[in-house]
Amino acid sequence: MNPNTDELRRILDLLRQGQWNAAHDRVQQVEGLLAAWLHGILHWQEGDLEDAENWYERAGRRFRQRGTLDQELTEFEAALHRPGA
C-alpha cells in the first residue's frame, strides 16, 4: 500500500475529529492529487475559499462543482480505497 494513502487516512481522521490545524499541518507534507484535494477540503472547511479553489484546481477538480462537505469527504475516502491510490 502507498505510504501516502496511509498518511492521508490519518489526516482524514484528524479532520473528522475536528483537529483542523493538525490535519492542515500534516497534509502540507504529502504530495499528489489526493493530497491536494484533501488540502482543498481543509481550506474550504476553514472558510478559506480562495485557497480551497486553488488546491482543488491543483487536484484536477472543479471547486465550484463540488458537493456538500460530507459528500466530498465520502468521495475522498472512496478514492483512497481505489487501486493505485
Q: What is the pLDDT of residues 46-56, one digit of tens each?
A: 999 999 999 99
Q: Is residue 37 a part of any domain in this protein?
A: yes
CA distance 53 to 59: 10
CB environment 14-50: b (16+ within 10 A), e (fewer): bbeeeeeeebbebbeebeeebbbbbbbbbbbbeeeee
Residue 47 phi, psi dihedral angles, 5° rounding: 90, 5
Q: What is the pLDDT of residues 67-82, one digit of tens each?
A: 999 999 999 999 999 8
Please state, for a pLDDT cut of 70, what percent of the chain lies above it.
Answer: 99
- Name the residue range of residue 53's domain: 3-80
Alpha-carbon separation of residue 82 from 12, 50, 75 (angstroms): 16, 29, 11
Q: Is residue 74 a part of any domain in this protein?
A: yes
Q: What is the CATH number of the domain that holds 20?
A: 1.25.40
Q: Is residue 85 a part of any domain in this protein?
A: no
- Domains: count for the chain: 1
Statement: residue 1 has pLDDT above 60: no
pTM over 0.75: yes
Q: Is residue 63 a part of any domain in this protein?
A: yes
